[in-house]
Amino acid sequence: MTLDVITSTALTPKHGFFCRAGGISTGIYRGLNTGLGSNDDPKNVLHNRALVAHHLGVRPENLGGVHQIHSPTVHIATPKTIADRPKADALVTNHTSLALGVLAADCAPILFADADAGVIGAAHSGWKGAVGGVIQSTIAEMTKLGASRASISAVVGPCISQANYEVGPEFLEQFIDEDPEFSRFFTNGTGDRYLFDLPSFCLHQLRSEDIAHAEWVGHCTYADDSRFFSYRRTTHRKESDYGRMMSAIVL
């Protein structure tokens, strides 16, 4: 089956937000599960990741990733470190033929590029990472490699939308404690619940960094079972595990 890949004209380097179609995993992992941390057959996961690498035109061993921990930590990928999977939530590089990949299944994957400077980045941003500064850290590390904020474009990939992201009052309080203005990313839900707008919050964080362009591709992972994996949907269905989707970029 052909891979289902979302792209953006805002990013000129080859990239893709890979959806769940096209892989060889079965059952609850049906499709292109690329999560090494899932309980899927590792052989299937590695095969699926090789499909992603082939689509991007790189060798499987040059498709880098990180052990994601909802942090602001950024890994600088080089030919010597591309195979490492350190505990971090973003990668940056100025080396060609190295693909940077992050995994998500409701959290926001974000791909970055300054094509003129030859610097790219990829970040995994759940709410903890977004509040904790993973976006700011990724951009800062890109500038250290020669990127200019005025030339960086960033695209937020498929993630859970506000209509499906219900949270409790303690969640809202954490954002208010950080900045009272963050209340604008919440609307009232049922009873004491709120609905949080993760993609808009990520866009706010990106635009606060004065980069050239920021956008969201506009797809909700929770709402479309046929196209996307979703941690929250899996939880609501009381399923034992869930697949992970990769978003990746290469110079």
Identify whether 107 is part of a domain: yes
Whole-angstrom Cα Rg for the chain? 17
Identify whether 148 is part of a domain: yes
Kindly report, residue by residue over 61-116, the tens digit of the pLDDT: 999 999 999 999 999 999 999 999 999 999 999 999 999 999 999 999 999 999 99
Identify whether 213 is part of a domain: yes
How many CB atoms neighbour CB 151 within 10 A? 16
How many structural domains comprise the chain?
1
Query: Which CATH number do you get for residue 127?
Result: 3.60.140.10
Do 8 and 155 form a contact (C-beta atoms < 8 A)?
Answer: yes
Q: SS3 for 1? A: coil
Tally of CA atoms within 13 A in the half-sphere of 91 that contains its CB: 30
The pair of structure tokens assigned to 152 is: 């960086």
Kindly report, residue by residue over 7-55, the tens digit of the pLDDT: 999 999 999 999 999 999 999 999 999 999 999 999 999 999 999 999 9
Identify whether 48 is part of a domain: no
Identify whether 132 is part of a domain: yes
* Range of the structural domain that residue 108 is part of: 62-161+197-238+246-250
Q: State the Cα–Cα distance between residues 121 and 98, nearest whole angstrom.
A: 11
Q: What pLDDT shows up at residue 64?
A: 95
Identify whether 204 is part of a domain: yes
Identify whether 179 is part of a domain: no
Average pLDDT, the chain: 97
Identify whether 180 is part of a domain: no
Q: State the Cα–Cα distance between residues 124 and 145, nearest whole angstrom.
A: 20
Q: State the Cα–Cα distance between residues 69 and 63, nearest whole angstrom.
A: 19
Residues making up the chain, counted from first to last: 251
The pair of structure tokens assigned to 236 is: 């609501």
